[in-house]
Amino acid sequence: MYVAGYLALDASSYIYPVVPLGITPWNPSAGLSLFLLLTCGRRFWPAVLIAAVAADVVVRNATVNAPMLTTAAFITGCYVVAATFLQRSWKVSAPLESTRDLVIFFVVASAASGTVAVMFVGLYAAIGMVSMRDMPLDVLRYWVGDLNGILVLTPALFSIRKIGNIGFAIRKLVSPEIILQLLSIGAALGLILAFAGDYPYRSFYALFLPLIWISARWGLPGAAVAQVIIQLGLITCVQLADYHAATFVQLQWLMTGLCVTGLTIGAMSSHRARLELALLDRQAALNRAQQFASAGEMTSALAHQLNQPMTALNSYVGACQIMVGQPILDAARLRDLMAKIEGEVRRSSEVVARLRDFYRRGATNLCPIEAGRLVDNVIQVLHRNAQSADVEIVSRPGEWSRRLLVDTVQTENAIQNLLLNAIEAMEMAGSKTRRIETSISVTQTSVEIRIHDSGPGVSAEMMAELFEPFHTSKADGMGMGLAIARSLVRASGGDLWIEPAAAGGACFVMRLPAPTSSDVLRA
């Protein structure tokens, strides 16, 4: 099949030859041979040799002789070496689709076709079949013929192999844009034909425009296919206008420049498309990882946030059970306990709903509230905990009535975490003075809530990763409290940190943005 294709290409491109040798300004069979060696391997060298000899015999009616066999063997050898070198140095799995691989391809194709041209013409000049005077021009004609044959056909064959089902691809690709691109190639070729008698090179540059457009739009495969169309169109123009062979050779050198430009832009565009795809893949992988991380964090957050109301519920239900077992039922006390149970249940479901929203959309429900109310609410909830740990919670006078615009449930959760940590730290350390001081101060743009305890303070080894998840000094701790508290405060536009406390203990600062009056009105 390859030999038949070689013969067909050789016969159809046998124009402006240096008779009786096969020196033509376009030699696509060289591109076919290189493609065969690159895709099927070096072991196909006999097929390349046979095709070269067969083309001389069939197309040019040559008789098999020593110079013919020598040149055929040399040509085969050169292209086998070129293919081997290319295969070893190409790095990207899709051939030619990186600019580095493309530059190597240009250099190797030029070197191989140049060597073949010099050797081929030189040998026939040595035996007198080519005049020494014509030798340089014939070398250039052979060289540009083989070089353009490779630059035009080899990338096109790679692209066709990659596309696979050509019929399907053509049906899928037929669009007004492609028709416009083909028309623009036709128009540029028409310009060349229009200046046929005058100076055809002048209008050759018009071909750069459609090729650049196609290469940038469709990448290397688009550039490769467009080159074939342009080359065939150029040959048609040359024949219609009946140019001199020398003019065609000159046009072919311009065609080499066109191919290098088109393929380079095409490869760069394909490379960019590959990078975009890789980036999208990475992004998708990152999103998946983030989803897993959020799911894990949400689970821990839920467990952590529900721990407190569940413990309270447990003790309230226990108290109810004791009460119903008693001979005289204290209805008022029972009602009070039931109200507390209801409150804790509502609180739990709010925590679940708010946390779910927070992790799903980062949603916060901003409401205007006095800063002091936020702290007071939590102190009330933790009243029993403080009492049983013998901790006194005092509030220093300050800007307690300052209005804030925050997510109340989330901010209260964060404050609750800080207070509970302080109570537990003092209880665990067996601190003599067990006191938590809460204070509120205002800066120009924010409100700062300070929670300062008289406990042991945060140990040096905990300090570095205090707000990182899963860092805990407690046997039954999860190490999620501060991490969650900080994300909750940040979701309301604030921040949370620990500051050195000269008087000892730990001092956590929660900064919340102070809203402008228009913010409060809008809320």
Question: Smallest distance from the beta carbon of 311 to ligand ADP, in angstroms?
Answer: 14
> Which residues pair with residue 242 across a beta bridge?
none
Identify whether the C-beta of residue 270 lies closer than 8 Å to the C-beta of residue 92: no
Please give the residue ranges that form the binding site for ligand ADP (CB under 6 A): 417, 421-422, 425, 453, 455-458, 462, 466, 471-474, 477-483, 506
- Given the complex with ligand ADP, which of 222 and 481 has the nearer CB atom? 481
- Following DSSP, what letter does each residue of 460-472 receive, concatenated? HHHHTTTTSTT--
Judged by beta carbon, residue 271 or residue 486, the one nearer ligand ADP is 486
Task: Give the shortest CB-459-to-ligand ADP separation in angstroms.
Answer: 7
Copy the structure tokens of residue 225. Answer: 């296919």
Return the number of the residue (157 or 420) whose C-beta is nearest ligand ADP.
Answer: 420
Would you say 354 or 486 has its CB closer to ligand ADP? 486
Round to whole Å and give the CA distance between 30 and 135.
21
Question: HSE on the CB side for 150, CA within 13 Å?
Answer: 28
Q: What three-state secondary structure class fits 183?
A: helix
CB of 427 to ligand ADP, least distance (A): 11
Other Cβ atoms less than 10 A from the Cβ of 93: the count is 7
Q: Tell me which amino acid residue 281 is.
A: D
Q: Pick the closer one to ligand ADP by CB: 367 or 462.
A: 462
Residue closer to ligand ADP, measured from CB, 268 or 485: 485
Closer residue to ligand ADP in complex, CB, 95/455: 455
Q: Look up residue 296 and give its two tokens.
A: 């894990």
Distance CA 140, CA 146 (A): 10
Alpha carbon distance 260, 245 (integer Å): 23
Q: Residue 250 has which token pair?
A: 């000159």
Minimum CB distance to ligand ADP, residue 344 (Å): 20
Q: Which long-range contacts (C-beta less than 8 Å, at least 24 apart) are formed by 439-445?
A: 439/395, 439/396, 439/398, 440/371, 440/372, 440/375, 440/398, 440/399, 440/400, 440/402, 441/398, 441/399, 442/399, 442/402, 442/514, 443/514, 444/514, 445/513, 445/514
Shortest distance (Å) from residue 466 CB to ligand ADP: 6
- Using the minimum distance from each CB to ligand ADP, give the nearer residue, 141 or 486: 486
Residue with smallest beta-carbon separation from ligand ADP: 481
Nearer Cβ to ligand ADP (18/391): 391
Is residue 51 a contact partner of residue 29, using CB atoms and an 8 Å limit?
yes
Q: In angstroms, give the least distance from the CB of 471 to ligand ADP.
A: 6
- The CB-of-457 to ligand ADP minimum distance in angstroms stands at 6
| Residue showing tokens 């030859």 | 17
User: Phi and psi for 452 in degrees, rounded to 5?
Assistant: -120, 120
Burial zone of 308 (CB within 10 Å; 0-12 exposed, 13-18 middle, 19+ buried): buried
Q: Per residue, what are the HEC states of 51-63?
A: HHHHHHHHCCCCC
**Minimum Å distance from CB 445 to ligand ADP?**
27
Shortest CB 390 distance to ligand ADP, Å: 16
Q: Which is nearer to ligand ADP, 368 or 477 (CB)?
A: 477
Other C-beta atoms closer than 10 Å to the C-beta of 468 total 12
Retrieve residue 31's tokens.
Answer: 């591109």
Burial of 340 (0-12, 13-18, 19+ CB in 10 A): middle
Instruction: Give the DSSP H/E element, type plus range, for residue 379.
Output: helix 371-381
Find the Cα–Cα–Cα–Cα dihedral 388, 394, 400, 405, rounded to 10°.
Answer: -40
Q: Give the span between the Cα atoms of 109 and 88, in whole angstroms.
A: 15
Element (H, E) at 510: strand 507-513
Cβ of residue 483: shortest distance to ligand ADP, in angstroms? 6
Residue 25 structure tokens: 């300004």
Query: Cβ closer to ligand ADP: 68 or 458?
Result: 458
Closest C-alpha to 457, from 512, 419, 504, 398: 504
Q: Residue 337 CB: number of other CB atoms within 10 A?
A: 18
Minimum distance from residue 386 beta carbon to ligand ADP (Å): 13
Using the minimum distance from each CB to ligand ADP, give the nearer residue, 98 or 413. Answer: 413
**Min. distance of Cβ 479 from ligand ADP in angstroms?**
4
**Rounded least distance, CB 416 to ligand ADP, Å:** 11
Give the nearer residue to ligand ADP in terms of CB position, either 292 or 470.
470
